[in-house]
Chains A and B, each alone.
Chain A
């Protein structure tokens, strides 16, 4: 008896339909085979399905069972085929009807329960696109799938429940999406900008970076507060908008990092991989291309602490995604495109010992050592960082007693409001373009949106000569000035905006 159950396979962020054909034959030696390019995980599904069916108090037939996953030439991976295979066998045994135009998706446990499976959101999106009526997914993954409106998402707890549903003894009700309040990890919420003493300019630079989505490099002595500043950044970032949120959630669903019962991401991601990260870990890849840190940080922040401790090969691999906002991972078997539009926050010491220009401690590095150290970050990479900022060490004791210093302390909430305003301005500006923030502007956008008066341009040209700005730096200054103007609600870039932007030009690592 031949049964056909429909499921889907995720390849990167794309989904293709897969027909799971199950044949339970009365003739031939008893056995259980899966064909159609299954990989190890899919092969193992035989044992899971068999035991799960037995655990559900249904006898597993001593017959020849053949499962075909069609199309047969596409490699199948993952544990999501457990459910459609089990459904196919059960249907063959019990003769119960399988609901039409439905997709089945999920991993079985030996007890017959369904486990949280990655990619449920992508499945639901595919179902909607192709006009399927309903999807059956594990209960833990159902909320994630229910984000998609217009498809019935049935949360399945175990096989018995599903059988009861088929027999219309006890119906499973389609799940209605419930937004989940995200809980940020403690180390992200523990810092407020007002807790960072001193560092007024660095904080201002963070505000500009957050407002315009600019990449930023923090250079300073150990203990000056670079990491603290970076960790306080999520507190001033605006929440994801609808489009961004779906983009980011899709990647997380594909990577399987959405927790059971998880929902749409609403806060921007803050990812801080350690500097021993491999190129594949950071960029994405593997034989079956997996999203890397840069894609998981999509529309969020990628924080690279100890920037020049990262292997050069890893850093250089960042160049293209920084420019294009996507990363194309090509392997012999397949090619996958992952979005990777992230804000890079990098922190570095000025020299190997860390104490160059320290007011109290002497630096013990030779000029050559310092040069070599700073050279680890290539010019082209530095060129892609809009804001360069010094984070000098501060005397905490003196600052906490300084009246004037405490007057300047602004809580993250206040800064966030300004940032959100500037983002709104940008959204209106780029309504017809495919970009979201000033940092993404290409030359044509700059020409269109950053007209400058003659005197303003003169100042910029003067600065270009004085500070030896490269052509790319010149454009960077305009982009940063645009964001500063947006923060001040100014329609046009004025002299003071350019002048402030010049503060954030490359200094410490210049001439490298």
Chain B
């Protein structure tokens, strides 16, 4: 563990820019090097992440992180944790800003993720020392560090009164770019997002939109895609590209007994063509 005060040169420049709001000092765990603060993107969202939210994180954050952008988030479960995880899974770097003293892990059950972050050249930071307990009033203060460290913020799934909206508004206040990923308007998790869009946030559907402000370009992805084997598999993939579906609905749509459909889906899953999350399938 170590710390850097605002007077020191090591203190992230971007965070200093936010003026009197900037924390006086940052405690950290992991290896502090300035490169990690170069290109930061804040990724925050709902604690109650849906399957759609997870897909979005996997699709967009993985590309952004793979391009060398550091993913900053608040280590909360849901979208935050998923963003950290996804960054690590593509070999990217990530910063977790804690809502508690630097010696605590909150939420505690994500200890494994905490260790993964530290192991993979990531950073855990907090403005509080020792074992200060997490508290409701600390969350918004933590959010200002998340927003302050980043050149832009990406909000994925946010309810009406989500804490992610605080992060978005802070980012706006600090003159940082705010990106959002639109969701289905029927979802509770889209309400906050819609609000942000109305207030002028940029709605995006691919990583390129984000990478353009970091001056980077995404390298064309070489995905080891497994080709569908027959007409049924093509039909299944076609359907799943549109939306995630449960086995019952798919067997109804294709007019196929559920036993046979199960066999096909298991085999496609084994080959890595599709994935199962909750009770629904979607294309990898």
Contacts and interface: CB of A to CB of B under 8 A. Distances in A.
B109 interface: yes
B263 A466 contact: no
B136 interface: no
Contacts of B257: 200, 408
Contacts of B109: 367-368, 371
Nearest to A220: B279
Contact of B51 (A357, A360, A496): A357
Contacts of A106: none
B48 A363 contact: yes
Contacts of B78: 367
Q: Which of A356, A366, A407 has the most CB of B within 10 A?
A: A366
Interface residues of B, number: 34
Contact of A404 (B246, B255, B262): B255
A200 B269 contact: no
Interface string B247-258: 110011101011
A203 B109 CA distance: 36
B206 to A, nearest CB: 26
A2 interface: no
A408 B254 CA distance: 12
Interface stretch (A14-22, A34-42, A245-253, A498-506): A498-506
A204 B270 contact: no
Given A201-B258, A404-B255, A466-B270, A499 B47 contact: no
B278 interface: yes
B132 interface: no
A500 B279 contact: no
Given A357-B278, A390-B279, A500-B259, A200 B248 contact: yes
A281 B32 CA distance: 61
Contact of A368 (B51, B107, B186, B259): B107
Interface string A5-43: 000000000000000000000000000000000000000
B247 A503 contact: yes
Interface string B199-225: 000000000000000000000000000
Q: Which of A368, A462, A499 has the most CB of B within 10 A?
A: A499
A366 B252 contact: no
Interface in A441-491: 459, 462-463, 466, 484
Contacts of A204: 258-259, 262
A199 interface: yes
Nearest to A501: B266
Contacts of A180: none
Contact of B47 (A366, A484, A500): A366
A507 interface: yes
Contacts of B253: 404
A200 B267 contact: no
A500 B262 contact: yes
Interface string A349-392: 00000001100101110111001000000000000000000101
A396 interface: no
A463 B258 contact: no
Contacts of B251: 200-201, 408
A203 B258 CA distance: 9
Given A362-B188, A363-B48, A366-B47, A408 B252 contact: yes
Contacts of B267: 495, 499
Contacts of B48: 362-364
Given A204-B259, A500-B263, A404 B252 contact: yes
B189 interface: yes
A364 B46 CA distance: 12
B258 A200 contact: yes
Q: Which of B47, B107, B189, B262 has the most CB of A within 10 A?
A: B262
A300 interface: no
A174 to B, nearest CB: 53
A463 B272 CA distance: 11
A128 B242 CA distance: 71
Interface in B65-120: 77-78, 107, 109
A155 interface: no
A394 B249 CA distance: 10
Given A404-B252, A466-B269, A367 B77 contact: yes
Nearest to A484: B259
22 contacts: A198-B248, A199-B248, A200-B248, A200-B258, A201-B247, A201-B251, A201-B258, A204-B262, A356-B278, A357-B279, A364-B48, A368-B109, A390-B246, A394-B248, A463-B266, A463-B270, A466-B269, A466-B270, A496-B263, A500-B259, A502-B270, A503-B247
Given A200-B252, A500-B263, 8 more contacts: A357-B51, A366-B47, A366-B77, A368-B109, A405-B252, A408-B258, A500-B259, A503-B247
Interface of B: 47-48, 51, 77-78, 107, 109, 159, 186, 188-189, 246-248, 251-253, 255, 257-260, 262-267, 269-270, 276, 278-280
Interface of A: 198-201, 203-204, 356-357, 360, 362-364, 366-368, 371, 390, 392, 394, 402, 404-405, 407-408, 459, 462-463, 466, 484, 495-496, 499-500, 502-503, 507
